[in-house]
Structure 1
Amino acid sequence: MSTGEHWETITSGRRKIGPISQFDASGYPTTIAGEVPGFDVTGRVDGRLVVQTDRWTWMSFVAAEQALGDASLDLSTVDPYRTSVIMASSSGGNAFGQKELQRLWSRPERTVGAYQSIAWFYAATVGQLSIRHQAKGPSNVLVSETAGGLDSLAHAARMIDRGVSVVLAGGLEAPLSPYALACQVRSGRLSERKDPESAYMPYDADACGYVPGEGGAVLVVEDLEHALARNAPVIYGEIAGWGVTHDGEHTVRGSGGSQRQYTRSMRLALDRAGVVPADIDLLIPDALGVPENDTTEAAAITEVFGEGGVPVSTHKSLTGRIYQGGAALDVATALLAIDRQAVPASAGTRTPAPGCDLAFVPETKQAVVDVAMVSAHGFDGYHSSVVLRRFEGRSEVTRDRGAVAATGG
């Protein structure tokens, strides 16, 4: 999906959640998800590579291709040792792993294919992208639940500060296979409703959990001087600041996580960006859809910004919760809001639950969006917040800030 298609999806409120089609999910309590319809890599990925990799990695190939095209950036013109890949993933190549595990336990030879370890491994996509684009600079994979999609941008900005010119950052997930869904159901946080319209309702009095989804986004993070020197056609915004915290303890079922640590992540991001809460024009939160987590997140937002102090917009009820890919997609949404100077309508919340009465954006409208924050409130205590700022010209150049030149998802 292009950036334009994604923007049209969220501004029109078009729901992409429906019955799972990749396998028979009728025996599971959760039977709907946010799938990428009609996804086909035929002609876009070499056939030999297709059989060696997972759908999750195929999506990264296409998203990176879109992002680089959007940025008009040919990585063969960039020093490969100043090009990095820093992505986030929760669980790696699930469909590929499913196939090989079935082979292991159902055949007499009790073996798996030669590509199991490099297709299922959670770092596989980083490795394959770095090979595909000959990125030989420092590369990493981050695993911090939904927060990883934001942590990748913070890490990318640090790499820029250390001399890297271009980083492919973000996160992708493809968690829709039988065993992967079984693992997710075990958490007790998935919605079991069959109606896509009411299955995922974050912050709502009728919230009952979230709907899983697949996809995410790849973003081109570029040294600002490098982007300006090559006359980059678009700079969607700058990574101005970030904050990362952790609860320091396992999150037990029924706990909404630490309000204190979530609040700290937002304040750290604001401080690093050199802005105050009143400067934030749009906040895109995690929006888990689990009542206790929603309450904690809403309380943290209110503590930082005050009652109704910041416009809040979430769109996960349209796409499903894509874990680390969802946070990366939220960054793409925030950057598009800055680029288009518009705030997209929030989706999924009908009647806010007690303690969750935030300033949800009721409808898409033109508005000043110079500074936006994206936050994530992940399982097991991961909290991350990123502040993005509109690029205003060469006078804004500093060495410790990266420009997000383009997005693809």
Structure 2
Amino acid sequence: MRMSRKKRHKYHFHPLFWMTWTLLLIAIGGVVVWMQQEGLQLNVNQSPPIAQHKALEEVQGQKKPVTSDAAKQPSQAPQAPKGNQVVGNTASKKDNNKQQSVSPHEPINLVFAGDAMMDWSVKETIRKKGTDYPYVHVKSEIEKADYAFVNLETAITTHHVKDTNQLYNFKSDPIALKGLKNAGFDLVSIANNHTLDFMDKGFLDTLKHLEKAKLPYVGGGRTEEEAYKAHTVELNGKKVKFLAFSRFIPQTYWFANGNKPGIAEAYNKSSVLPVIKRERKDCDYLLVYMHWGVEKENRPAPWQRTYAKEIIDAGADAIVGSHVHVLQGFEFYKGKPIAYSIGNFLFPNYVKGRNADTGLLHVTLDDGQVSMAFNPYYIKNDQIVKRDNKYVESQYNYLESISYKAVMNANQVEPAVKVSR
């Protein structure tokens, strides 16, 4: 009978025992799965900034590769900085916390523009239609660049005492800088023959307003040391430097000298070539912007071509020129491109014909190689505008005709290749 009770006991309790253990194991398994899911969600939410930027671009349909910052949004002000500013001759510094591109060989796209002068009719147009009006048709192209550079062919001041040795004196409202900034420009050259049109006071005002607008400058400064110092920025993991000089200056007292404010002059090669050699030592690329040449001439003077080669021999990877108010051709020297003049960029509505021809010059830096491309535009009624394909094609043909052993392959500037027969 005892055995029979034992069997009955086994029959009634063992299923309950196993059921209890089964439920306990299921509960433990559920907790483990829940913890794993929570851990996975935590990892997704903590993705690195560069992944967040990439995801944002995919949602917004952006084509631009992820670089050191998120793509600039047209409606945002102030503009998000592009790249990491390492050193430069401005009190304004870039955000050093921006992530760099994950690819060490990602090409760098630079955009250069010619002379921008926001006085006379442009000043009135800006007051009536807003600071962004002149750049409506070029803004999207400028914004896509990794870095964009323009020559500021004017003082930014309300000062009235002008340099009476000048035939024309240009001064633009401080608010005009907002238009350049919103258009996508990251850096301006102040090495030209108009930034001191309103003497030292107007020049120092210009520096102050540029710094307030957080728009870096190069080619001038409060001291000689500052004027001849390169502006340095890190783009796609590469250290890129910019220098600017002027070979056309009305008076010698415009020169930066010791502790005297002024601009970087290029009359003396001994002032220019050693600076290029010095600055080239610790960077991946060095770009030189020259204000030079004979006004309204569509070809460089012989001395310019010689000078350009010396600049490249000193260490420049590319040369971009302005000042002559018309476009000039291209040349390659030791594989390095030279754009002798990219003309006016924004000038009052009196400009016509060749004086109104303008464009955006693209300089691409790719694994030690440097290339150029040019997209034509036209200045009309205080605005940079597009024209039809016939005009664009005629500009390519014209630029090729005034270049030196360089050809236009659509918008690409390429060295002419001699075909052996």
- Specify which structure has the bigger relative contact order, considering alpha-carbon pairs within 8 angstroms and separated by 6 or more residues: 1
- Same fold (TM > 0.5): no
TM-score (norm 1): 0.30
Larger Rg: 2
TM-score (norm 2): 0.29
Structure with greater proportional strand content: 2
